[in-house]
Structure 1
Amino acid sequence: MFKWLHPYAKTQAAYSLSQRLTPWFAGICVLLLVPGTLWGLLFTPADYQQGDSFRIIYIHVPAAMLSMSTYVAMAVAALVGIVWQWRTAFMAMIAMAPVGAVMTFIALFTGAAWGKPMWGAWWVWDARLTSELILLFLYCGVIALYSAFDDKQQAGKAAGIMALVGVVNIPVIHFSVQWWNTLHQGATITKFDKPSIATEMLWPLLMNIAGMMMFIAALTCMRLNNEILRREQHRPWVSALLHDRRENQNAV
């Protein structure tokens, strides 16, 4: 099981894979995110209740959904690192953490900007808003705990345990609008049989969700590569790689 993953326990293989995937993720991100955003902001019809203020959905919803997805992916990487003792898994975990934290902040900020005209307040202690804020604290906690250790293998284990414990907050965020009486609206696009959004508004939203997913993947790969080079700088293959880069720069 997971035999295809085993080669990427080695940092050189993980670095090589990330190098190959980064331009693909970045290219797909541009192809989806740019037209999706322009379509959503400029060409979709205004909402019959919210008018043009609903257009923030094309930033807010992808950021909110992917803030949770990134945390789950981070927790999976932490689990792999703890169970199989893979350094590359811990590196991937910490590479994702700041990216997910930024997505969570964007979700909170755009949610506040959307809530002001709709609810009359920038912030309310709504169940979903509060649990999303807790998610931001969890991301920051994982980053801070990882940075507190000089031994990065031990740092990965400690931060990984915190990441795994924090997963309990993800279903709370998702189901908060069903479990409690909140101001936040219920499911919109996850009702696959009949989404509560017009088709002409749905497609640019789906494009932005996919585009932002590729954006997160590209940033994670870039951060993973930097983490590998920083942690493995004493390895011969890293020294050779950096030497080649310096020679290419001098040649230019």
Structure 2
Amino acid sequence: MKVPKAGAVAAVIALAATASGCGGDAPKEPLSIGIKFDQPGIGMREADGTFTGFDVDVATYIAKELGYKPNEIEFKQVYSSDRELLLQYNEVKFVAASYSINAKRQEKVDFAGPYFVAHQDLLVRADDGSITKGEDLNTKKLCSVTGSTSAENVKNNLAPKASVLELGGYSECLVALQDGLVDAMTTDNSILAGYSARKGNEGKFKLVGLRLSNENYGIGVKKGDNDLQRKINTALTKMVSDGSWEAAVKKNFGPANYKYEPAPQVTTGS
């Protein structure tokens, strides 16, 4: 039997070790996170391709606690009408997209959190003083986004005679409001404040200042993924305790002089 030379054996061992080392350093699968791309202050894809907003900061913090660096995150656009589907079909690992927790949604997905409390309000043109309460919408045209809870709340509880235009995104509603096609747009005050403070919109719009509902934002995860739910809850609790939550709120909402609620207690999945 021919015995291999010592040098050849060493080369084989070195090659095996190198291959093993490469495997350990292989890049991990990107963490896909669903966010909004058109909500200034919440989730926004900027012209240069970067992402800004409170939900982006929260998602990035959670990802860090799950072991992912910022360059290992893949942000995917979600709309209010398709968040549950993207989770159900594993298109995203979790959703951080001004996602209000309610019983209807909890039938299809699970939530971590809540991590933020907002209130439904109305955004109107700065020179319009005709809308001061929800009932005033009975004779007005209102814009909201398909799949959101805001229009449903107005029609069912506040102004059943309101004419409601539902569009695909809040940016479209803002254009309709600016052009006079509608008299108001409605969603959470955090989102409306972001649009009002956006560069180029200063002085054009104003919040009416109503609290038409309480919206507890949660992180959506696939139904039954209790392990991920617990890990995200742990991350959210840590984000509040180490001051990162407060810093993110001030960074994203401070310029709009937005009066935010204190961080809520994590209650889901705990």
TM-score tier, shorter chain, comes to under 0.3
Query: Normalising by the residue count of structure 2, what TM-score does the alignment of the two structures yield?
Result: 0.24
Normalized per residue, which structure has more helix? 1
| Greater fraction of residues in strand | 2
Structure with bigger RCO (C-alpha 8 Å, 6+ apart): 1
TM-score when normalising by structure 1: 0.26
Which one has the largest radius of gyration? 2
